[in-house]
Structure formats: structure tokens, C-alpha cells
Amino acid sequence: MKKHIQIFNNTAELSQYFAALLVNGLENTPEGRFFSIALSGGSTPKTVFDYLANFYRDKIAWHKVKVFWSDERCVPPDSSESNYRMAKESLLDRVPIPASQVFRIQGEADPVKEAIRYVEIARQNLFVREGIPVFDLLMLGLGDDGHTASIFPHNRHLFYSESPFEVADHPLSGQKRITVTGNTINHAEAVVFIATGATKAEMVANVIKKRMGWEQLPAALVNPESGSLFWLLDERAAAEL
Ligand code: 6PG
């Protein structure tokens, strides 16, 4: 696993680097093949999506991109809490990705049935290695409690699930989530954590430096075996590195 820790002055520079990862990945994707990306929810990913829509609408071969999600809240697609709605409004409605290449997690569906359905969607539309769907680029945020996707410390056993996607629940609200699990995360060609702001600094350092108790932190379990791991941070989030 190749680890890259990149620290930026601001979210625009961070977004520029993320865009370059996409451009580079697509340049290495043969015509007729697709580049698969799993999007994360969260405020920082939203700034990246806005940047891509504003500056890369005509600079990325969007027709070669297949879009999935790392996780989704079990809410309707028009809910203000929907990761799909956030990505749709900030990116997908603003770039020419064919609708047939956008694979939404159906937050309005029965969670157990949807997790099963989404596993099949992933398997049908992605390269599969050892029975595990392989994303070209899997985007992750970092929660203040060390969660990533929707794997929280209280349900970190989900990281080791045999199923590529599972039903999870938020520790405070109990809200049901559909989340990617650890084997699939760690089979991705590239895993890209995005974290900004001073509130992330302690947890970023806990995870990257594997400070005491790191084993309880789902984000610290991310370790793509043959892929690359990127940490895209602003200076505030990197302050304790
Ligand atoms: C979600 C996300 C979650 C998020 C982190 C960081 O559905 O909420 O997938 O894992 O990425 O909580 O969110 P912020 O970037 O907004 O702090």
C-alpha cells in the first residue's frame, strides 16, 4: 500500500488535487472501460463536488465515469440529509454524466433489502476480485469520533463484514445507514480520505499516527492492500501531524 499525505492551504487547492486524481485515473482508463468512483457524504466532500462542477465540467471524460456511494442515509432521495441529493445538486446535475452511470443507494427502501440489492449492483457494474467489487477511487470522510463512511466505533465490527455493503446505524440518532464495509474499502485501487478544519486535527493524528486506542477507530482500519491511500488535508486538520 502506497500512502500519500497531502496538506493544502485551502479547500480549493485540495479540490484541485482531487480533480487531478480523477483526470489521471481517467487518462489511464482505456476507451470502452469505465472509471468507478464511490462518493462520500459530508461537508468537505461537498466543497470538492462544487469545485469539480465549477472548473472541471469540460476537463473530465465524465462519460467514462460510473458513480456509486460509500454510504447513504436511509432517507428519501430528496431529503436534506441524503448524500445522493447533496451530490446531485453540487455535482451530478452540473456535469455530463449519463444517468445510467449513476448508481444511487435507495435510501427510501427497506435497509436490509437495499444493502443486498446494492451489493448486486456493485458486483454487476464493477470489476470483481476475490468476490469483492473493486472501486477505482473510493472517497471517504472522517468523523470526529473516527468513523468513516457509516462505520462508527460502536459498530466497527461491520468493517470486517463479508458483505461489501451493510446496514449500519448512527450512534446518537439511530438513523439507519447503508455503508460500504472494510474488505471493499481495502480492495479499492485508491482510497481518498478528505478532512478539513481544526475539529478534525486530533482524530486525523489519532488515525494516521495510530495513537493509543486507534484500534477502536474504523478510519484507522483502512489499509488498501494493493491500492493507494491518500489523505487530503488542509493545514488545520493536519495541525497535530
Ligand atoms: C456521512 C459521511 C460521513 C462523513 C463524515 C465527515 O454520510 O455523513 O459519509 O462519513 O464523511 O462524517 O463529514 P464532514 O466532512 O461533514 O465532517
The pLDDT tens digits for 4-34 are 999 999 999 999 999 999 999 999 999 899 9
Domain coordinates in residue numbering, the chain: 2-234
The pLDDT confidence band at residue 142, using thresholds 50, 70 and 90, is very high
What pLDDT, on a 0 to 100 scale, did the predictor assign at position 218?
98
Residue 11 beta carbon below 6 angstroms from any ligand 1 atom: no
**Rounded mean pLDDT of 209-232?**
95
What residues have CB less than 8 Å from 74, skipping those under 6 apart? Answer: 107, 108, 111, 114, 167, 175, 176, 177, 178
Task: Determine the residue of 142, 150, 165, 173 to mutate for testing ligand 1's pocket, defined as the one with the most ligand atoms within 8 A of the Cβ atom.
Answer: 142
Residue 171 identity (one-letter amino acid) = P
Nearest-CA residue for atom 2 of ligand 1: 41
212 compared with 231, residue with greater pLDDT: 231
132: left (phi over 0), alpha (psi -120 to 50) or beta: beta
Task: Record the cell numbers describing residue 233, joined without a space.
Answer: 488535508
Q: Please determine, for residue 138, whether its predicted confidence score (pLDDT) is greater than 90.
A: yes
Decide whether any atom of ligand 1 lies within 6 Å of the 149 Cβ. yes
pLDDT digits (tens, 9 = 90+) for 79-123: 999 999 999 999 999 999 999 999 999 999 999 999 999 999 999
Q: What kind of fold does domain 2-234 have according to CATH?
A: Rossmann fold (3.40.50)
Residue 192 — very low, low, confident or very high, per pLDDT cuts 50/70/90? very high
Confidence band, pLDDT 50/70/90 cuts, at residue 240: very high
Q: For ligand 1, what atom is nearest to the CA of residue 177?
A: 7
Residue 212 confidence (pLDDT) above 90: no
Give 73's strand partners.
Answer: 177
40 Cα–ligand 1 center, Å = 7
Q: Reply yes or no on whether the pLDDT at 2 is more than 90.
A: no
- Please identify, by atom number, the ligand 1 atom nearest to the C-alpha of residue 150: 10
Instruction: Give 140 Cα–ligand 1 centroid separation in angstroms.
Output: 8
- Would the pLDDT of 225 be above 90? no
Q: What does the pLDDT read at residue 132?
A: 95
Please tell me if the CB atom of residue 41 comes closer than 6 angstroms to any atom of ligand 1.
yes
**141 Cβ below 6 A of ligand 1:** yes
How does the average pLDDT of the chain come out, rounded? 97
* Ligand 1 within 6 A of CB of 146: no
pLDDT value at 231 more than 90: yes
- pLDDT at residue 199 greater than cutoff 90: yes
pLDDT for res 223: 96
Query: What pLDDT sits at residue 1?
Result: 79
Q: From atom 13 of ligand 1, which residue's Cα is the shortest distance away?
A: 42
Q: How far is the CA of 44 from the centre of ligand 1 (A)?
A: 8
Three-state SS sequence of 139-164: EEECCCCCCECCECHHHHHHHHCCCC
pTM of the model: 0.97
